[in-house]
Amino acid sequence: SVKTNTMSPKITVELLRHLRQAMKNSKYITEPIQAYIVPSGDAHQSEYIAPCDCRHEFICGFNGSAGTAIVTEQHAALWTDGRYFLQASQQMDNNWTLMKMGLKETPSQEEWLISVLPENSKVGVDPWIIAADQWKNMSKALSNAGHSLVAVQDNLIDAIWEDRPPRPSTKLIDLGLKYNGLTWQDKVTALRGKMAERKVSWFVVTALDEIAWLFNLRGSDIEYNPVFFAYAIIGISNIKLFVDSKRLLHPAVQEHLELDSPSKPELTIQCFPYESVYTELQAVCAALAPKEKMWICDKASCALTRVIPKAHRSAIPYTPLCLAKAVKNPTEIQGMKMAHIKDAVALCELFAWLEKEIPKGTVTEISVADKAEELRSQQKDFVGLSFPTISSVGPNGAIIHYRPLPETNRTLSLNEVYLIDSGAQYLDGTTDVTRTVHFGTPSDYEKECFTYVLKGHIAVSAAVFPNGTKGHLLDSFARASLWDSGLDYLHGTGHGVGCFLNVHEGPCGISYKTFADEPLEAGMIVSDEPGYYEDGSFGIRLENVVLVIPAKTKYNYRNRGSLTFEPLTLVPIQLKMINTDLLTQKERDWVNDYHRKCREAVGAELERQGRKVALDWLIRETLPIV
C-alpha cells in the first residue's frame, strides 16, 4: 500500500520542447514569455495534492510533495529541499538542474532567474497556483531587476499534458452531529459573528479543510486528506458554495445542506460550479458598498486575491475558520480520544506481532507499513491513512522524511533501532504517532539519546504555561536535555492536527521557526515530537498527539489561568530504550502515569476486542519503572 516511486529518470526532451513552444504560442499568451514557473501545490495551496495537480512531476519526473520547476528558453531547474535531494536527482534526466534548497551556494528562484534571463524578460506563472504573498515577493524581485512577472491564465503544463487525470469528484459524506458536534448552520452563524466583530461583510474561503469543516462534509479527492475541491464565499446574509454540481445530487447531501428547504433565508446555500468562483467573486465585488471589507487568506491564490479591489481586501494570515477549526469542540475531542484508543489497539497488535515475526528475518520496512495499515483497517470507522507511513530501520531512520522504497527497503532485525511514524483517518478523528523501538539490545548510546528525547517530550507534555502563550515558546523545552549533551534535531517539535481532517493544520504548532503562530488555547490539538538523528546510524523520534487543557496551579497571576497538555496518543514507550538513571523522579512518575493510562484505556478496548496477545504485550510493556 505504500506508494513506490520509479527511480529511473523521466525522459523530458519532448515535454520541454512542447512547453517552450507553448511559451511562445499566442493561443495562450499575447507576448512570448522567457520563463515559466511551475509552483508546487494546487489552487488551494494544499500540502498534499491530487494527481491532476502534480504538474511539477509531469514536467520533470520528480514526484516529491514539494518542488518548484522553472523552465526558460535554455534551462530547466527544479528547487526542492533536503528531504528530496536523492529522490529528485534519480527521477530527473539531465535536461534538469537540481537546485538544493537550504545549501548556501544554491541561488533562490529569483536570483537564478535574474542570472539567466535576457534583459526585460517576461516570466509567466499560473496565478491560480501561486499564492498572493509569493507572487508579491517574486514580482518585486523581478521588477527590481528589470523583468516582469505575468499571469498566464491558461496553465501551460495542462495545455501540453495529454493524458492529464481529471479533477477528482468523489462522493461527499455528511458525518452527522454525532461526529461534528456543531451543525454547519451554527458554524456559519459563529463565523458571521466574527465577521461582524471586525466589520467584515464577506469572506472568501479557499482552503479545502476549512470548507470541509464549515459544511460538515468530507470527500476523498486528495489522498490522506478527507477533503473535496470547492470554494465558498460567505456573506452576512449569503452562502455561496462552488463545487462540482453532480456531487450535490445525492439526497443525503441535499438534505444535509438544506438545498431544497432552507430553515432560514440567511442560511440558504447558493450552489455554483467549482470553476465559476472567479466570475461570481467578480460579481460580488462589483456590488460592494464603498467601505465594505472582504477577508481572504494571504496564502490564497493570486488569481482570486486580485479579483478583490485593494480598498475592499483584507488579507489575513489565518482565517477565523482556521482558528475555529483548531479549537476542537467536546464532540470532536471525544472522537479524537476514541480514534487514538483504536489506533493504539492496532499498534499494540503490531508490536506484539513484530516481536514474534522479526526473528524469522522476513519482516521489512514495507511489510510493517502494510501490516500497520491492515491492523488499523480492522478498527471501526477506519477511512485510510493520514499520511504515508515512515517505517525505517537503522540508518534509514536518520532520514527524517524517509519512505521505504523497494530499493531502500531494509529487513527488521534484533540489531538495529526501528522507527515507525504513522497515522490514520477514522470518521471520529485523525491520528499521528511515532515510536522508536529495539527488538534486541539497544546500545548504551542509543538508550542515552532516546532518553534525552524522552526527557524533551515529557518537558513539553508536562509543561504548564499561561493562557495566551504561543507554541513556539515551548520549543526549547523539548531540546534542553539534548542541548546539555551537545545534541539537537533540525525540525520543529509539533504541528496542529485536524479532527478527521488534515494531519497538519494551522495556526498553531511548537517550533523555533514560526513566530506568527496564534496562542495555544484549551481544546487545541498538536503533536509533541522531538527526535535525534545520527546520520548513517539510527533515528529516534517520540511523538504523541496532545490536547491543550486548563491546568490547575497553586497561584493564578493576574487571573490569566494556565494550560497544559493531555496525551491523546496512548501507545507504550519502550522501556528497554530508556536509561532510567538519567530520569528525574518527576519524569519517572510521568512515564508510569502515562503507562497506567495506556493500560487502562487501551487495555479495556483490547479486552473488548478479544485481542489477548496484544493485551498481554500491553500489560508487560506498561510495568512501572523505579
The footprint of a copy of itself (CB under 8 A) covers 463-466, 473-477, 479-480, 483-488, 512, 515, 553-557, 560, 562, 584
Is residue 599 left, alpha or beta, with left meaning phi > 0 and alpha meaning psi from -120 to 50?
alpha
**Residue 191 is placed in which grid cell?**
463565523
Which residue bears the cell 508487560?
620
Please count the CA atoms within 13 angstroms of the CA of 25 that sit on its side-chain side.
16
Nearest residue (CB) to a copy of itself, 105 versus 407? 105
Q: How far is CA 547 from CA 7, 376, 522, 523, in A?
A: 40, 22, 8, 6
Give dist(CA 123, CA 114) in Å, integer. 10
574 and 438 in contact (C-beta within 8 Å)? Answer: yes
548 and 522 in contact (C-beta within 8 Å)? Answer: yes
- With 0-12 CB in 10 A as exposed, 13-18 as middle and 19+ as buried, what is 129? buried
Please state the φ and ψ torsions of residue 422, each to the nearest 5 degrees. Answer: -150, 165
Q: How far is CA 49 from CA 129, 220, 322, 389, 542, in A?
A: 12, 11, 19, 17, 27
Nearest residue (CB) to a copy of itself, 477 versus 538? 477
Closest approach of Cβ 476 to a copy of itself, in Å?
5
Q: Which of 74, 78, 77 is nearest to 63 (CA)?
A: 78
Nearest residue (CB) to a copy of itself, 260 versus 515? 515
Give dist(CA 61, CA 93) in Å, integer. 8
Residues 6+ apart with CB under 8 A from 559: none
Closest approach of Cβ 457 to a copy of itself, in Å?
16
Nearest residue (CB) to a copy of itself, 580 versus 584? 584
Nearest residue (CB) to a copy of itself, 473 versus 522? 473
Nearest residue (CB) to a copy of itself, 421 versus 448? 448
Closest approach of Cβ 292 to a copy of itself, in Å?
15
**Residue 1 is placed in which grid cell?**
500500500
Is residue 292 left, alpha or beta, with left meaning phi > 0 and alpha meaning psi from -120 to 50?
beta
SS3 570: coil
Closest approach of Cβ 118 to a copy of itself, in Å?
19
The vertex-605 CA angle with 599 and 611, nearest 5°, equals 95
Nearest residue (CB) to a copy of itself, 27 versus 555? 555
Nearest residue (CB) to a copy of itself, 415 versus 485? 485
Closest approach of Cβ 452 to a copy of itself, in Å?
10
Nearest residue (CB) to a copy of itself, 247 versus 472? 472
Closest approach of Cβ 474 to a copy of itself, in Å?
7
User: Pseudo-torsion of CA 258, 199, 228, 430, nearest 10°?
Assistant: -100
Closest approach of Cβ 314 to a copy of itself, in Å?
12
207 and 228 in contact (C-beta within 8 Å)? Answer: no
Closest approach of Cβ 448 to a copy of itself, in Å?
9
Total number of residues shown for the chain: 626
Give dist(CA 348, CA 614) in Å, integer. 5
Nearest residue (CB) to a copy of itself, 274 versus 489? 489
Closest approach of Cβ 122 to a copy of itself, in Å?
22
SS3 359: helix
**Residue 599 is placed in which grid cell?**
493500560
Nearest residue (CB) to a copy of itself, 255 versus 593? 593
Closest approach of Cβ 146 to a copy of itself, in Å?
12
Closest approach of Cβ 562 to a copy of itself, in Å?
5
Closest approach of Cβ 479 to a copy of itself, in Å?
8
What Rg do the C-alpha atoms of the chain give, in angstroms? 25
Nearest residue (CB) to a copy of itself, 146 versus 624? 146
Give bridge partners of residue 564 from the DSSP assignment: 549
Which residue bears the cell 466574527?
194
Closest approach of Cβ 587 to a copy of itself, in Å?
12
Give dist(CA 432, CA 423) in Å, integer. 4
Closest approach of Cβ 128 to a copy of itself, in Å?
29
Nearest residue (CB) to a copy of itself, 181 versus 395? 395
Give dist(CA 35, CA 121) in Å, integer. 8
Element (H, E) at 123: strand 122-125
